Structure 1
């Protein structure tokens, strides 16, 4: 194998697996987001493998060198600062490049914060959508969250401590009774999971829920009959297309949900495309 996509602990080092430790000891180079963070992990487990930075700001130029060295027989482990690599972190580009070039890789598992938060949320988890981080700018953030709030399935997203109150406030503004679970400091000393309606959750932030650590938000799905009804028909169709439906499927679904004729929905949707 040329690459071991290696999961590491979210916070508690006792969650490190024997297989992960052995892998990091035997590869030639460990690729990591922040060498300072990974150094703490490798020092704790007596791992002296060289570290090399691989992150959003250098990944394109770094990949050429990595691929070249793999062809020469060098082996690598890819880690993130915590949890599973590639999830909301760089890495899928490298995996795709390796597939194209016939290079071998394997995944060594660990927990991801979003799966643990979902398990601990008390919100239906049979079907869910993971959205990662919201866009950074205000307009795009609100648009994306509005789309998420119209989603029929349970939604999971990450948020930073300085934006968590703003995000929950936006959730409340859309539906103050929507059930929300917030998880923070997962696997660490002050791990916390709280489930409340959005309006109550906002009151707890900064009081019973400290604004420290990384947050995971789990949002109950919208009721089917209420989905998208607060937006125009054309936007309703567009939102369903973004969720993976074809235009024909989306038009049919919108027509059924709103008790409209399919031709009327079709005409209104395509009028906005002119």
Structure 2
């Protein structure tokens, strides 16, 4: 095996498995997002494997060298600062290059904050979409949040402590009764999860829940029961527009719900206008 994509604890070091420890001891090189963070983990478990950086800023320059090393038999483990690598972290590019070269890789499982938050939330998880971090620009962030709030499946995303209050406020302004769940410091000493309406959550953040730590937010899906699927296409689109969605997004949502092509819904909608 050329690469072991290895999960690490997201807080509690007791979650480190025997398989994770033995893997990190046995490989030749560990690829780490932040070597300073990973070094602390390795020191705790007395692992002295060679450690090199692999992150967003150097992945393009080091990937070719890693692939060449793999070809001559060097084994690697890929880790992130916490949790499962590649989830909202670099790494899929390396896997793609390995696929092209028919190199072997596997996953050594570990904790993942978004799945744990989903379980803690009490919100239906039969179908859900993971959105990662919201875009940084205000316009793109508004557009993405609009998409999420009209998404009929449960949504899961990450947010920083200094932006979580604003995010909940934006949800409250759009849909104050939407059920959401916020988890912080999962698996750590001050782990906390609150599930309630967006309006209630906005009041609790900073009061019952400190704005410190790593946050995961789970948002219940858009209530489809208000939409009658046997209604005309134009009426269906208008129902989303009246609820606050932009025309382009409404057309896309109707197409998704009805299993149609976006262009087809667009043509049928504008034919009636």
Instruction: Find out whether 1:142 has 2:142 as its counterpart.
Output: yes
Instruction: Find out whether 1:264 has 2:238 as its counterpart.
Output: no
Q: Which residue of 2 aligns with 1:219?
A: 219
Residues 213-263 of structure 1, C-alpha deviation per residue, up to 9 Å, x if partnerless?
110000010111368342244331234668996525972xxxxxxxxxx86
Q: Which residue of 2 aligns with 1:2?
A: 2
RMSD of equivalent CA atoms: 2.1
Distance 1:74 1:4 in 2: 12
Q: Which residue of 2 aligns with 1:235?
A: 249
- The structure-2 alpha-carbon separation of the partners of 1:243 and 1:88, relative to structure 1 and needing over 3 Å to count, comes to farther
Alignment length (residue pairs):
259
Q: Which residue of 1 aligns with 2:234?
A: none
SS in 2 for 1:31: strand
Instruction: Find out whether 1:99 has 2:111 as its counterpart.
Output: no
Q: Is the 8 A contact 1:181 1:217 kept in 2?
A: yes
Instruction: Find out whether 1:36 has 2:40 as its counterpart.
Output: no
Distance 1:40 1:244 in 2: 51
Distance 1:78 1:243 in 2: 38
Taking structure 1 as the reference length, the TM-score comes to: 0.89
Runs of 4+ in 1 over 2 A off after TM superposition: 225-235, 238-246, 248-251
Counterpart mapping for 1:72-151 below 5 A: 72-151=72-151
Unmatched runs of 5 consecutive residues or more in structure 2: 228-238
Taking structure 2 as the reference length, the TM-score comes to: 0.89
Q: Is the 8 A contact 1:240 1:250 kept in 2?
A: no
Q: Is the 8 A contact 2:176 2:199 kept in 1?
A: yes
Compute the displacement of 1:207 (Å). Answer: 1.1
Compute the displacement of 1:137 (Å). Answer: 1.1
- The structure-2 alpha-carbon separation of the partners of 1:215 and 1:266, relative to structure 1 and needing over 3 Å to count, comes to same
